[in-house]
Structure formats: structure tokens, C-alpha cells
């Protein structure tokens, strides 16, 4: 959600890219708590907050403060959380690959609302929701599926 690379995050957190990939893996066992706290500190300094899993929902991330972002700006991040390519998302949503790329890039004079809603619904079917911004927090992304 920061628009930064894994290499940037690993460098800022003073860990190796391999350790960061291990922390991000859904197959991880017990994370390295020191590495996790270092990554958390970087994210927090950038204005992000990690959301812990609950009995009803999985983990997520959101901006601590409202930023003026719309839910449509969360589409790319939600797709990334699932590890889906543009082609895979196009197949799931019945929205064209190029249309998805344009919507995710933003800057359109008029967002094709029906296509955006199809993308949102496809993400939800795969277990990820976009948390709309409100006056208490910014935009967020959350898994509906509990990690094991």
C-alpha cells in the first residue's frame, strides 16, 4: 500500500529480503518476532496499521488516518494480497485485463462503476475485502479467511 518494493522495506527494516518473504508467506510457522517488530515499526512510521486476525476475519492492513483515498484505490492492493495477476483477475471478474489496469492506475475521468463493482465482488469471493475510509481511519484491505 506504500508503493514501495520489498527490497525497500527489507532495507528499512534492516532484514534480508529472504526474511521478509518468510514473514509474508501464508505457510509461515512462527515468525521471527524481532524481524516482525522491525517491519511493523517501518509500516507504522509510514502511517499504516496492521490488523490482527479475529475469530471472524483474517489479518489486514489500513491507513491509521483518513487520506482521501476511495475504495477503488484499494483494488490493486487487494489483488496483490491474493497474489493474483491481471490475467487471473480478469478471468475471475469478467472484466478485461486492460480495463483492470486502467481502473487500478486511477486518474480516469469517470471510473466504470460496474466494472469496479465486479472486481470488488470477485475479490470478496476469493476472501479479501476493501475497508472503506471513514473519519476514524483510512482505506484498508483485510482477509476474510483465517490464517492457519
Q: What is the mean pLDDT of residues 121-141?
A: 95
The rounded mean pLDDT for the chain is: 91
69 Ramachandran zone, left/alpha/beta (phi>0; psi -120 to 50): beta
Distance between CA atoms of residues 97 and 106, nearest Å: 14
pLDDT (mean) for 80-103: 94
Q: 118 pLDDT exceeds 80?
A: yes
Is the pLDDT at 116 greater than 80, yes or no? yes
For the stretch 42-79, pLDDT in tens is 999 999 998 988 888 888 999 999 989 888 899 999 99
Q: What is the pLDDT of residues 9-20, one digit of tens each?
A: 999 999 999 999
Q: What is the pLDDT of residues 18-29, one digit of tens each?
A: 999 888 876 777
> Is pLDDT of 147 > 70?
no
Q: Per DSSP, what are the bridge partners of residue 129?
A: 142
Residue 148 pLDDT > 70: no
Amino acid at each position: 500500500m506504500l508503493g514501495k518494493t520489498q527490497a525497500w522495506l527489507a532495507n528499512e527494516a534492516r532484514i534480508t529480503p529472504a526474511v521478509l518473504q518468510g514473514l509474508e508467506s501464508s505457510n509461515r510457522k512462527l515468525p521471527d518476532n524481532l524481524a516482525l517488530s522491525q517491519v511493523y515499526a517501518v509500516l507504522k512510521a509510514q502511517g499504516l496499521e496492521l490488523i490482527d486476525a479475529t475469530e471472524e476475519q483474517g489479518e489486514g492492513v489500513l491507513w491509521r488516518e483518513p487520506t482521501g483515498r476511495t475504495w477503488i484505490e484499494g483494488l490493486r492492493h487487494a489483488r496483490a494480497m491474493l497474489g493474483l495477476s491481471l490475467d487471473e483477475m480478469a478471468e475471475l471478474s469478467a472484466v478485461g485485463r486492460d480495463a483492470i489496469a486502467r481502473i487500478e492506475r486511477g486518474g480516469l475521468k469517470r471510473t466504470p462503476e460496474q466494472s469496479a463493482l465486479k472486481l470488488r465482488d470477485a475479490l470478496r469471493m476469493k476472501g479479501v475485502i476493501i475497508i472503506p475510509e471513514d473519519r476514524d481511519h483510512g482505506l484498508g484491505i483485510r482477509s476474510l479467511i483465517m490464517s492457519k
